[in-house]
Amino acid sequence: MNIRGRIVLSFGGLSLAVGALLVACGSGSSPTPGESASGQSCEQTADCKSPLICLNNVCLPNPASTTTTNTSSDAGTGDAGDAGTTAIGPHLALVGEACQTLSDCSSGLDCVASEFGTVCAPVSYGLTPTGKTCSGQCNPANGGTDCCELPLDVELAYLTDASAFAQDIVVHSCQDVLTALGGSNAVCVSGPQNIYQKQACFYYETYCQCAMGTWACSASNQCQYTAPCTVNSENTVGGCPSSNRVGASGETTCTIPAGASTGSCLPPGGCMTATDCNGKAVVDVSGATCTDGDCVCNNSACYLPCQGNIDCAAGSTCDTSTHLCQPAGCSTAADCVATTNNVLATCVSGACKIPCTTDYECNSGGATVPTTFGGQVCSSGYCTPLGCSSNSDCTASEVQLFCVTPPATGEHSAITGGMM
């Protein structure tokens, strides 16, 4: 009896000792749920401070996201805390930020080479080329009145009653012209008496009293002086203007037909009709003179006409509407590679073009930053100048220019003639 009682007591004491040991070990090895800092031990993500996660029994930042949200604070849910975190995902580079591949960039951007290494850049600009340029001096619909503007930097000299020496005035307005005339244009009506008055009266009549017959706007949107002239002199009463509203007019020669008292202001050797060319030099053939209506007038210049391609020099074709020779353009891609020094160049309908798939390809040459615009976009698979879409786009010039479809260029005379 006594032995059995001692054995039972011993087992009871052992149970109490083991229980105490288990309690002591549990309180010393497991941190408070949700309180473990970075680098401390854990058994599940719920043991870690948000936004840390439990990796290999250590609380660490989530390598797959910049921010996580712990949706469970109950340590009793086991590893369910891992499923309760929301990963935002890796940062995608914006314009100008470094990248290694396309997948590093945000939507709509590509990883391209630049002066600063490979960076993310927009590849499509969403722009459509217009085919127009800021080259118009006037709008034909306005009947030439656009040309009735004083040229810039005009300086007039005039005499005053108090001095025998001419005074100078820089003209900014028609009132400045009147100042040079002594305050009114009465002397222009009665007849100017000296070279200073003749010049001031010319400017006043040409630009300030501009009428419908003074200027015209050509089909190519250029100002043409159409008032009759009587003397072959510039910027004087009866003469021709040296400038229009945007600069040199080129129409400085007064051409008076035989037997007539008035003529037209034309460029030196220029024309308005084919008849004007008779007796004048061919503009692009040295030593050739137009006779008996054998020339055509194009953009105020006289040319020898063509009737077919055989009349033109090698590499040119005859435009049967204008009867002028035009550059034939390219025939093979090799022609374009040689002329553009670009191995990607190809020949399309007689014109050299650079193929492309993105707008960035057409502007990356020499670009210092990914957002630099070189004036071209990728249209129908080829790099194309954007052009202007309205007059408000024309800001490069000091004076207002018009956004127009430019005329064809490169016309030249035939080198030989055939049957008419």
Residues 6 or more apart in contact with residue 251 via CB below 8 angstroms: 224, 225, 240, 241, 265, 266, 267, 270, 300
204: three-class secondary structure by DSSP: helix
The DSSP call for residue 208 is I
Count the Cβ atoms, other than its own, within 10 Å of residue 233. Answer: 17
Regarding predicted confidence, which is higher, 27 or 397?
397
Shared domain check, 153 and 112? no
- Ramachandran bin of 349, using left for φ above 0, alpha for ψ from -120 to 50, beta for the remaining angles: left
pLDDT score, position 418:
57
pLDDT digits (tens, 9 = 90+) for 68-97: 344 444 444 444 445 455 555 567 888 888
- Evaluate whether residue 373 is within a structural domain: no
pTM for this predicted structure: 0.64
- Counting the structural domains of the chain, the total is 3
Q: Where would I find the H helices in 88-224? A: 174-180, 186-190, 195-203
Would 40 be classed as within a structural domain? yes
Mean pLDDT for 29-41 is 72
At a CB cut-off of 8 Å and minimum separation 6, what does 57 contact?
A: 41, 42, 43
What domain range includes position 119?
Answer: 94-123
Measured distance CA(416)–CA(314) in Å, rounded: 12
E runs forming strands in 354-391: 376-379, 382-385
Q: How is residue 227 written in tokens? A: 């008032």
Q: Is 234 contained in some domain?
A: yes
Q: Does 72 lie in the same domain as 206?
A: no
**Domain finish residue from 281, 306, 329:** 281
CA separation for the pair 28, 41 (Å, rounded): 12
Mind listing the pLDDT tens digit for each residue in 112-122?
877 767 888 88
Same domain, yes or no: 99 and 169: no
Q: What is the mean pLDDT of residues 368-377?
A: 80
